[in-house]
Amino acid sequence: MIKRVKNFNLKKLNTFRMDVSAGEFIEYDSVADLLDIDFDTLPKPVISLGKGSNLLFTKDFPGTVLHSDIDFIYELPEDSRLYEGMPDGTVLVSAGAGVEMDRLCGWAADKGLWGIENLSHIPGDAGAAAVQNIGAYGTEFADVAVNINCYDIEEEEFTHFTAEECGYAYRDSVFKHPGFKGRYIVTNVIIALSENKGPVLGYGQVKEAVGQASMGRPVTPGIVRKVITEIRKAKLPEPSVTGSAGSFFKNPVISIEQFNAIRKKSCCEVPHYILEDVVKIPAAWLIDQCGWKGRTHGNAGVHSGQPLVLINATGKARPEELIELKDLIIASVNERFGIQLIPEVEII
Ligand code: EPU
Protein backbone atom coordinates (compact mmCIF):
# COMPACT_ATOMS: atom_id res chain seq x y z
CA MET A 1 0.00 0.00 0.00
CA ILE A 2 1.20 3.49 -0.79
CA LYS A 3 0.72 6.46 1.52
CA ARG A 4 1.34 9.96 0.12
CA VAL A 5 1.39 13.23 2.08
CA LYS A 6 2.30 16.72 0.88
CA ASN A 7 4.26 19.08 3.20
CA PHE A 8 5.10 16.27 5.56
CA ASN A 9 6.76 17.04 8.89
CA LEU A 10 9.95 15.00 9.21
CA LYS A 11 10.58 15.44 12.94
CA LYS A 12 9.80 11.77 13.65
CA LEU A 13 11.79 10.61 10.63
CA ASN A 14 15.20 11.99 11.55
CA THR A 15 16.95 10.93 14.72
CA PHE A 16 18.40 14.44 15.28
CA ARG A 17 14.70 15.44 15.51
CA MET A 18 15.04 18.51 13.32
CA ASP A 19 11.70 20.23 12.85
CA VAL A 20 11.70 20.35 9.04
CA SER A 21 9.28 19.28 6.34
CA ALA A 22 9.41 17.49 2.98
CA GLY A 23 7.62 18.72 -0.17
CA GLU A 24 6.12 15.25 -0.52
CA PHE A 25 6.37 12.06 1.52
CA ILE A 26 5.68 8.61 0.08
CA GLU A 27 5.63 5.45 2.16
CA TYR A 28 5.24 2.01 0.63
CA ASP A 29 5.25 -1.47 2.11
CA SER A 30 5.82 -3.81 -0.83
CA VAL A 31 8.37 -4.10 -3.60
CA ALA A 32 5.58 -4.02 -6.21
CA ASP A 33 4.34 -0.64 -4.89
CA LEU A 34 7.37 0.99 -6.51
CA LEU A 35 5.92 0.19 -9.96
CA ASP A 36 2.87 2.31 -9.16
CA ILE A 37 4.86 5.47 -8.41
CA ASP A 38 5.33 7.88 -11.32
CA PHE A 39 8.80 9.16 -10.45
CA ASP A 40 8.85 11.71 -13.32
CA THR A 41 6.12 13.76 -11.71
CA LEU A 42 7.50 13.86 -8.15
CA PRO A 43 9.00 17.00 -6.60
CA LYS A 44 12.80 16.74 -6.97
CA PRO A 45 15.22 15.74 -5.61
CA VAL A 46 14.00 12.34 -4.49
CA ILE A 47 15.68 10.74 -1.49
CA SER A 48 15.12 7.50 0.38
CA LEU A 49 15.00 7.63 4.12
CA GLY A 50 15.04 4.72 6.57
CA LYS A 51 14.91 5.90 10.16
CA GLY A 52 16.85 9.06 9.18
CA SER A 53 19.57 8.03 11.61
CA ASN A 54 22.58 9.20 9.68
CA LEU A 55 21.65 12.61 8.39
CA LEU A 56 21.15 16.20 9.40
CA PHE A 57 18.46 18.23 7.67
CA THR A 58 19.55 21.86 7.57
CA LYS A 59 16.28 23.24 6.19
CA ASP A 60 12.91 22.21 4.77
CA PHE A 61 13.45 19.67 2.00
CA PRO A 62 11.71 20.76 -1.21
CA GLY A 63 11.76 17.33 -2.88
CA THR A 64 10.26 13.92 -2.19
CA VAL A 65 11.16 11.68 0.72
CA LEU A 66 10.56 7.98 0.10
CA HIS A 67 10.19 5.68 3.07
CA SER A 68 10.28 1.91 2.74
CA ASP A 69 8.17 -0.13 5.09
CA ILE A 70 9.12 -3.38 3.32
CA ASP A 71 9.43 -5.51 6.40
CA PHE A 72 10.10 -9.18 5.65
CA ILE A 73 12.90 -11.47 6.82
CA TYR A 74 13.25 -14.98 5.42
CA GLU A 75 15.86 -17.65 4.74
CA LEU A 76 16.54 -18.33 1.08
CA PRO A 77 15.62 -21.89 0.05
CA GLU A 78 18.52 -24.33 -0.03
CA ASP A 79 18.27 -24.69 -3.81
CA SER A 80 18.92 -20.97 -4.41
CA ARG A 81 21.76 -20.55 -6.89
CA LEU A 82 23.24 -17.94 -4.55
CA TYR A 83 24.46 -20.79 -2.30
CA GLU A 84 26.92 -21.87 -5.01
CA GLY A 85 30.49 -21.49 -3.75
CA MET A 86 29.41 -20.40 -0.25
CA PRO A 87 31.20 -22.01 2.73
CA ASP A 88 29.50 -24.84 4.65
CA GLY A 89 27.09 -23.61 7.29
CA THR A 90 26.07 -20.53 5.28
CA VAL A 91 22.48 -19.38 5.67
CA LEU A 92 21.34 -16.78 3.15
CA VAL A 93 18.78 -14.35 4.44
CA SER A 94 16.67 -11.80 2.62
CA ALA A 95 15.50 -8.74 4.55
CA GLY A 96 13.30 -5.91 3.33
CA ALA A 97 14.84 -2.43 3.20
CA GLY A 98 12.45 -1.28 5.92
CA VAL A 99 13.44 -3.93 8.45
CA GLU A 100 15.02 -2.34 11.48
CA MET A 101 18.65 -3.41 11.51
CA ASP A 102 18.50 -4.27 15.20
CA ARG A 103 15.45 -6.50 14.59
CA LEU A 104 17.45 -8.32 11.92
CA CYS A 105 20.37 -8.72 14.37
CA GLY A 106 17.96 -10.08 16.99
CA TRP A 107 16.37 -12.46 14.46
CA ALA A 108 19.82 -13.83 13.51
CA ALA A 109 20.92 -14.19 17.15
CA ASP A 110 17.70 -16.03 18.05
CA LYS A 111 18.46 -18.55 15.31
CA GLY A 112 22.08 -18.89 16.51
CA LEU A 113 23.43 -17.41 13.26
CA TRP A 114 26.73 -15.52 13.23
CA GLY A 115 27.64 -12.46 11.17
CA ILE A 116 25.76 -9.39 12.36
CA GLU A 117 25.75 -9.74 16.16
CA ASN A 118 28.38 -6.95 16.44
CA LEU A 119 26.01 -4.59 14.58
CA SER A 120 23.39 -4.88 17.33
CA HIS A 121 21.71 -1.73 18.60
CA ILE A 122 22.83 0.43 15.64
CA PRO A 123 19.85 2.60 14.78
CA GLY A 124 18.50 2.51 11.21
CA ASP A 125 16.99 0.15 8.67
CA ALA A 126 18.54 -2.64 6.60
CA GLY A 127 18.29 -0.62 3.35
CA ALA A 128 20.23 2.28 4.83
CA ALA A 129 22.74 -0.14 6.39
CA ALA A 130 23.53 -1.39 2.88
CA VAL A 131 24.00 2.13 1.54
CA GLN A 132 26.04 3.43 4.47
CA ASN A 133 28.01 0.23 5.09
CA ILE A 134 27.39 0.55 8.82
CA GLY A 135 30.07 -0.87 11.05
CA ALA A 136 30.97 -1.50 14.66
CA TYR A 137 33.42 -3.57 16.69
CA GLY A 138 35.27 -5.11 13.77
CA THR A 139 32.23 -5.95 11.62
CA GLU A 140 30.85 -4.04 8.65
CA PHE A 141 27.68 -4.62 6.68
CA ALA A 142 29.96 -5.36 3.68
CA ASP A 143 31.24 -8.47 5.49
CA VAL A 144 27.86 -10.19 5.09
CA ALA A 145 26.47 -8.51 1.94
CA VAL A 146 25.76 -10.86 -1.00
CA ASN A 147 23.25 -9.01 -3.21
CA ILE A 148 21.56 -5.66 -2.80
CA ASN A 149 18.28 -5.66 -4.71
CA CYS A 150 17.09 -2.30 -6.00
CA TYR A 151 14.53 -0.50 -8.12
CA ASP A 152 16.14 1.68 -10.80
CA ILE A 153 13.91 4.73 -11.13
CA GLU A 154 15.53 5.81 -14.42
CA GLU A 155 15.06 2.53 -16.25
CA GLU A 156 11.90 1.71 -14.28
CA GLU A 157 13.08 -1.82 -13.57
CA PHE A 158 14.30 -4.03 -10.76
CA THR A 159 17.99 -4.80 -10.65
CA HIS A 160 20.63 -5.96 -8.22
CA PHE A 161 24.22 -5.21 -7.22
CA THR A 162 26.59 -7.90 -6.02
CA ALA A 163 28.62 -7.02 -2.92
CA GLU A 164 31.60 -6.36 -5.17
CA GLU A 165 29.59 -4.01 -7.38
CA CYS A 166 28.52 -2.07 -4.28
CA GLY A 167 32.10 -0.74 -3.97
CA TYR A 168 32.09 -1.00 -0.21
CA ALA A 169 34.62 1.00 1.80
CA TYR A 170 34.66 2.62 5.24
CA ARG A 171 31.08 3.97 5.64
CA ASP A 172 30.83 4.18 1.87
CA SER A 173 29.24 2.47 -1.16
CA VAL A 174 28.40 3.32 -4.77
CA PHE A 175 24.88 4.18 -3.63
CA LYS A 176 26.26 7.38 -2.04
CA HIS A 177 28.00 8.46 -5.25
CA PRO A 178 26.76 10.74 -8.07
CA GLY A 179 24.95 8.80 -10.76
CA PHE A 180 23.77 6.16 -8.27
CA LYS A 181 22.44 8.34 -5.45
CA GLY A 182 18.74 8.99 -5.92
CA ARG A 183 18.57 6.55 -8.85
CA TYR A 184 18.59 3.19 -7.07
CA ILE A 185 16.13 2.46 -4.28
CA VAL A 186 17.09 -0.54 -2.16
CA THR A 187 14.16 -2.95 -1.92
CA ASN A 188 15.80 -5.78 0.02
CA VAL A 189 19.22 -7.08 0.99
CA ILE A 190 20.54 -10.62 0.75
CA ILE A 191 23.10 -11.37 3.44
CA ALA A 192 25.20 -14.43 4.24
CA LEU A 193 25.04 -15.54 7.87
CA SER A 194 26.76 -18.59 9.26
CA GLU A 195 25.92 -21.45 11.60
CA ASN A 196 29.54 -21.98 12.58
CA LYS A 197 31.63 -18.85 11.98
CA GLY A 198 32.12 -17.84 15.60
CA PRO A 199 32.50 -14.40 17.20
CA VAL A 200 34.56 -11.40 16.05
CA LEU A 201 36.38 -10.34 19.21
CA GLY A 202 39.13 -8.07 17.88
CA TYR A 203 38.11 -5.24 20.20
CA GLY A 204 39.65 -5.83 23.64
CA GLN A 205 36.67 -4.40 25.48
CA VAL A 206 34.28 -6.72 23.64
CA LYS A 207 36.47 -9.78 24.17
CA GLU A 208 36.71 -9.13 27.89
CA ALA A 209 32.99 -8.49 28.32
CA VAL A 210 32.05 -11.59 26.25
CA GLY A 211 34.42 -13.68 28.41
CA GLN A 212 32.68 -12.45 31.54
CA ALA A 213 29.17 -12.84 30.14
CA SER A 214 29.70 -16.39 28.86
CA MET A 215 31.09 -17.63 32.22
CA GLY A 216 32.81 -20.61 30.63
CA ARG A 217 29.78 -21.57 28.50
CA PRO A 218 30.18 -21.67 24.71
CA VAL A 219 29.91 -18.18 23.24
CA THR A 220 26.73 -17.70 21.17
CA PRO A 221 25.61 -14.90 18.85
CA GLY A 222 23.02 -14.07 21.52
CA ILE A 223 25.69 -13.53 24.19
CA VAL A 224 27.74 -11.28 21.89
CA ARG A 225 24.62 -9.34 20.88
CA LYS A 226 23.76 -8.73 24.55
CA VAL A 227 27.30 -7.54 25.34
CA ILE A 228 27.43 -5.21 22.33
CA THR A 229 24.03 -3.77 23.19
CA GLU A 230 25.20 -3.05 26.75
CA ILE A 231 28.43 -1.40 25.57
CA ARG A 232 26.57 0.82 23.10
CA LYS A 233 23.91 1.75 25.66
CA ALA A 234 26.58 2.79 28.15
CA LYS A 235 28.48 4.94 25.65
CA LEU A 236 25.97 6.36 23.22
CA PRO A 237 22.95 8.55 23.86
CA GLU A 238 19.64 6.69 24.24
CA PRO A 239 17.84 7.45 20.93
CA SER A 240 14.41 7.68 22.61
CA VAL A 241 15.72 10.40 24.96
CA THR A 242 18.37 12.37 23.09
CA GLY A 243 18.46 13.17 19.37
CA SER A 244 21.71 12.35 17.55
CA ALA A 245 22.93 10.61 14.41
CA GLY A 246 25.58 8.38 15.98
CA SER A 247 29.15 9.25 15.04
CA PHE A 248 29.08 12.67 13.42
CA PHE A 249 32.59 12.49 11.91
CA LYS A 250 34.64 9.78 10.22
CA ASN A 251 37.83 8.64 11.89
CA PRO A 252 40.56 10.48 9.94
CA VAL A 253 43.39 8.73 8.16
CA ILE A 254 46.78 10.51 8.22
CA SER A 255 50.33 9.84 7.08
CA ILE A 256 52.86 8.16 9.37
CA GLU A 257 54.94 11.40 9.36
CA GLN A 258 51.96 13.46 10.53
CA PHE A 259 51.17 10.84 13.16
CA ASN A 260 54.74 10.92 14.48
CA ALA A 261 54.63 14.73 14.66
CA ILE A 262 51.39 14.60 16.69
CA ARG A 263 52.84 11.91 18.94
CA LYS A 264 55.93 14.02 19.62
CA LYS A 265 53.87 17.02 20.71
CA SER A 266 51.33 15.02 22.70
CA CYS A 267 51.49 14.73 26.47
CA CYS A 268 50.07 11.21 26.45
CA GLU A 269 49.77 8.09 24.32
CA VAL A 270 47.94 8.78 21.04
CA PRO A 271 45.40 6.02 20.26
CA HIS A 272 45.75 4.80 16.68
CA TYR A 273 45.30 1.93 14.25
CA ILE A 274 48.02 1.30 11.68
CA LEU A 275 46.66 0.50 8.20
CA GLU A 276 49.60 -0.45 5.96
CA ASP A 277 51.28 2.91 5.25
CA VAL A 278 48.74 5.23 6.88
CA VAL A 279 47.39 5.68 10.40
CA LYS A 280 43.76 6.00 11.53
CA ILE A 281 43.21 8.15 14.61
CA PRO A 282 39.93 8.13 16.57
CA ALA A 283 38.16 11.42 15.90
CA ALA A 284 36.70 10.99 19.41
CA TRP A 285 40.19 11.36 20.90
CA LEU A 286 40.99 14.47 18.82
CA ILE A 287 37.70 16.12 19.83
CA ASP A 288 38.20 15.10 23.46
CA GLN A 289 41.73 16.57 23.48
CA CYS A 290 40.32 19.86 22.21
CA GLY A 291 38.08 19.99 25.29
CA TRP A 292 34.73 19.50 23.56
CA LYS A 293 33.46 16.50 25.50
CA GLY A 294 30.14 17.30 27.22
CA ARG A 295 30.11 20.93 26.00
CA THR A 296 27.05 22.62 24.55
CA HIS A 297 26.55 25.27 21.89
CA GLY A 298 23.08 26.74 22.33
CA ASN A 299 20.75 23.74 22.20
CA ALA A 300 23.30 21.52 20.46
CA GLY A 301 25.99 19.59 22.29
CA VAL A 302 28.83 17.07 22.33
CA HIS A 303 27.89 13.81 24.05
CA SER A 304 29.66 13.28 27.35
CA GLY A 305 30.04 9.51 26.87
CA GLN A 306 31.42 9.65 23.32
CA PRO A 307 32.54 13.03 21.92
CA LEU A 308 32.25 11.78 18.33
CA VAL A 309 28.50 12.06 18.77
CA LEU A 310 26.85 15.48 18.44
CA ILE A 311 23.48 15.73 20.11
CA ASN A 312 20.28 17.73 20.14
CA ALA A 313 20.99 18.50 23.81
CA THR A 314 17.72 20.18 24.78
CA GLY A 315 15.48 18.67 22.12
CA LYS A 316 15.11 22.18 20.68
CA ALA A 317 18.31 22.45 18.66
CA ARG A 318 17.99 24.23 15.32
CA PRO A 319 19.98 22.92 12.35
CA GLU A 320 22.15 26.07 12.42
CA GLU A 321 23.27 25.32 15.97
CA LEU A 322 24.47 21.86 14.99
CA ILE A 323 26.17 23.20 11.87
CA GLU A 324 27.93 25.92 13.91
CA LEU A 325 29.03 23.35 16.49
CA LYS A 326 30.34 21.04 13.74
CA ASP A 327 32.30 23.96 12.22
CA LEU A 328 33.74 25.00 15.59
CA ILE A 329 34.92 21.43 16.27
CA ILE A 330 36.43 21.08 12.78
CA ALA A 331 38.26 24.41 13.23
CA SER A 332 39.65 23.57 16.66
CA VAL A 333 40.85 20.08 15.68
CA ASN A 334 42.42 21.58 12.57
CA GLU A 335 44.15 24.33 14.53
CA ARG A 336 45.54 21.99 17.17
CA PHE A 337 46.40 18.91 15.08
CA GLY A 338 46.34 20.05 11.43
CA ILE A 339 43.69 17.38 10.71
CA GLN A 340 40.52 18.18 8.77
CA LEU A 341 37.61 16.18 10.20
CA ILE A 342 35.04 15.04 7.64
CA PRO A 343 31.40 14.51 8.64
CA GLU A 344 30.15 10.97 8.37
CA VAL A 345 26.58 12.18 8.68
CA GLU A 346 24.93 13.32 5.43
CA ILE A 347 24.10 17.02 5.60
CA ILE A 348 21.02 17.80 3.52
N1 EPU B 1 38.01 8.19 22.92
C2 EPU B 1 38.41 9.29 23.63
N3 EPU B 1 37.50 9.89 24.45
C4 EPU B 1 36.24 9.43 24.59
C5 EPU B 1 35.82 8.31 23.85
C6 EPU B 1 36.72 7.70 23.00
O7 EPU B 1 39.56 9.71 23.55
O8 EPU B 1 35.47 10.01 25.35
C9 EPU B 1 38.99 7.52 22.04
C10 EPU B 1 39.62 6.33 22.78
O11 EPU B 1 40.97 6.28 22.48
C12 EPU B 1 38.92 5.15 22.15
C13 EPU B 1 38.76 5.65 20.73
O14 EPU B 1 38.41 7.03 20.87
O15 EPU B 1 39.69 4.00 22.21
C16 EPU B 1 37.75 4.92 19.89
O17 EPU B 1 36.47 4.99 20.50
P18 EPU B 1 35.35 3.89 20.16
O19 EPU B 1 35.86 2.54 20.39
O20 EPU B 1 34.10 4.34 20.84
O21 EPU B 1 35.16 3.97 18.59
P22 EPU B 1 35.11 5.17 17.55
O23 EPU B 1 36.27 4.98 16.63
O24 EPU B 1 34.99 6.46 18.23
C25 EPU B 1 33.77 3.81 15.77
C26 EPU B 1 32.52 3.98 14.92
C27 EPU B 1 31.27 3.72 15.75
C28 EPU B 1 31.37 2.30 16.29
C29 EPU B 1 32.65 2.18 17.15
C30 EPU B 1 32.88 0.79 17.65
C31 EPU B 1 33.12 5.61 13.22
C32 EPU B 1 32.92 6.99 12.69
N33 EPU B 1 32.48 5.32 14.36
O34 EPU B 1 33.74 4.82 16.76
O35 EPU B 1 30.18 3.78 14.88
O36 EPU B 1 30.24 1.99 17.09
O37 EPU B 1 33.79 2.52 16.33
O38 EPU B 1 33.28 -0.02 16.60
O39 EPU B 1 33.81 4.81 12.60
C40 EPU B 1 28.56 5.26 13.98
O41 EPU B 1 29.12 5.10 12.89
O42 EPU B 1 27.55 6.01 14.10
C43 EPU B 1 29.12 4.62 15.16
C44 EPU B 1 28.63 4.84 16.38
The residue ranges of the chain whose pLDDT is under 70 are none
> For position 265, what pLDDT does the model report?
87
Mutate to test the pocket of ligand 1, among 170, 227, 247, 280 (most ligand atoms within 8 A of CB): 247
Q: Is 172 in the pocket of ligand 1 (CB under 6 A)?
A: no
> For position 276, what pLDDT does the model report?
87
| Nearest-atom index, ligand 1, CA of 344 | 32
> For position 79, what pLDDT does the model report?
96
β-strands 253-255, 273-275: how paired?
unpaired
pLDDT in tens, 161-171: 999 999 999 99
Q: Is 248 in the pocket of ligand 1 (CB under 6 A)?
A: no
Q: Is 61 in the pocket of ligand 1 (CB under 6 A)?
A: no
Alpha carbons 80 and 273: distance in angstroms, whole number: 40
Is there a contact between 161 and 68 (Cβ–Cβ < 8 Å)? Answer: no
Which strands, in side-by-side order, build the sheet including 300-302? 243-247, 309-312, 300-302, 296-297
Per DSSP, 281 falls in state -
Q: Is residue 247 flagged as an active site residue? A: yes
Question: What values do phi and psi take at 329, rounded to 5?
Answer: -65, -45
pLDDT in tens, 12-27: 999 999 999 999 999 9
Mutate to test the pocket of ligand 1, among 308, 309, 333, 336 (most ligand atoms within 8 A of CB): 308
pLDDT in tens, 116-151: 999 999 999 999 999 999 999 999 999 999 999 999
pTM of the model: 0.94
Count of CB atoms situated within 10 Å of the CB of 140:
19
Secondary structure element (H or E) that encloses residue 128, with its range: helix 126-132
| Nearest-atom index, ligand 1, CA of 289 | 7
> For position 195, what pLDDT does the model report?
98
Q: Is residue 171 flagged as an active site residue? A: yes
